[in-house]
Amino acid sequence: MAGVKIYGKPISTCTARVLLCLEEVGAEYQLVSINMPSGEHKGPAHLARNPFGQIPALEDGDLVLFESRAISKYVLRKYKESGTDLLKEGNLAESAMVEVWLEAESQQYNPAISPIVWQSLIVPKMYGGTPDQAIIDSSLEKLKKVLEVYEARLSKSKYLAGNFFSLADLSHFPFTRYLMITPYASVFESYPHVKAWWEDITSRPAFKKVSAGMLDS
């Protein structure tokens, strides 16, 4: 099967989400770097791939996709013969639970965690700016409320969608990976089942490989 092309950066959270899926299914792919500091993502060539000027984008023959969770699902479906089934689309109830917790990642977890990562890591490191502590603090409170729900869930279920690893778990990786190199990593200490889940999923070979391409500080 011909490989797909991914346009993005390995240090980018949303690109990492897609790379994780490709690594999990063992697919061949080509990563084409987009130069963010020079504004390449807002240039006409990239806007033709992603009209919102963001990364990642995927090209597979004449198919062009954007939005990392949509790309992830496409990759997982395309390579489902690999034996790695992270969507469970053959089972109505299981696939529904994957969708529920993927939505939870996108709509509950991500809005709480991403401002913390953005302010404490990306703003100083990429933009030379000063973190907005008020945003960090209010986001931390929101994140704790979300982690309470996750703690309860992961006390009953090994992974988020059930007793099977899925895209729902995987999708949490990129921003959490970055939270862990900020001073706020310790928030996970109060949620032992969440912590154990994090240690479990990050021990997967795909995670180690993608993590190596991300920022370490």
Partner 1 sequence: MGIKVYGLTKTTNVARVLISLEEVGADYEVVPVDFATGEHKSQSHLTRNPFGQVPAFQDDNDVMLFESRAISRYILRKYKSDLLREDDIKEAALVDVWVDVEYGQYNAPASAICYNVIVKPMHGEEVDQQVVDTNLEKLKKVLEVYEARLSQYKYLAGDFISFADLSHVPCTYYLMLTQYKSVFDSYPHVKAWWEAIMARPSIKKVFDIMSA
59 lines the binding site for partner 1 (CB under 8 A): no
Q: Does 52 bind partner 1 (CB under 8 A)?
A: yes
Least distance to partner 1, CB of residue 80, Å: 10
> Judged by CB under 8 A, does residue 87 bind partner 1?
no
Binds partner 1 by CB under 8 A, chosen from 4, 22, 34, 102: 102
- Write the CB contacts of 126 (distance below 8 Å, at least 6 apart in sequence): none
The dihedral through the CA atoms of 156, 158, 163, 167 has a sign that is positive
Amino acid at 5: K
Of residues 156-215, those binding partner 1 (CB under 8 A): none
Neighbours of 139 (CB within 10 A): 22
Strand partners, 64: 59
User: Cα angle at 176 between 21 and 33, to 5 degrees?
Assistant: 50
SS3 38: coil
Which listed residue (27, 84, 95, 131) binds partner 1 by CB under 8 A? 95
Applying CB under 8 A, among 46, 49, 73, 172 the residue interacting with partner 1 is 73
Interface residue list for partner 1 (CB under 8 A): 51-52, 63, 65-67, 69-71, 73-74, 77-78, 89, 92-93, 95-97, 99-100, 102-104, 106-108, 146, 149, 152-153
